[in-house]
Amino acid sequence: MEKAERSLRSMVEKWLLMAPSVSVRVIRGNRVGSNARRYVCVEALQSADMFAIYLFRQGDGTWEVFPPDAERQAMSVF
């Protein structure tokens, strides 16, 4: 998937199946972990149903519903 297709807006539209009657807002955003990765919680309200998803910023700047892999220590051989 191209980077433009994984922007925060496109991921919210994909996962919450945006419709004109849906009210969407970011209810929480912060940094988490020792590497300060960003995340947001997006809430959608449609009639009596409420949905919320967490989206995590990946190392390449895109957004996904899964947290990025933890960076692991590696050994180098010279």
Domain assignment of residue 31, given as a range: 3-64
pTM of the entire predicted model: 0.68
Cβ atoms 30, 12 nearer than 8 A:
no
Q: Please give the Cα distance from 37 to 49 (Å, whole number).
A: 30
Per-residue pLDDT of 38-67, as tens digits, reads: 888 888 887 788 888 888 888 888 888 888
Residues 6+ apart with CB under 8 A from 65: 11, 15, 53, 54, 55, 56
Q: 37 is written with which tokens?
A: 């990765």
Tokens 């980077």 map to which residue?
3
Do the domain assignments include residue 76?
A: no
pLDDT tens string 27-46: 877 776 666 678 888 888 87
69: in domain: no
Please check whether residue 57 lies inside any domain of the structure: yes
Please report whether residue 71 resides in a domain. Answer: no
Q: How many domains, in total, are found in the chain?
A: 1
Residue 75 lies in a domain: no
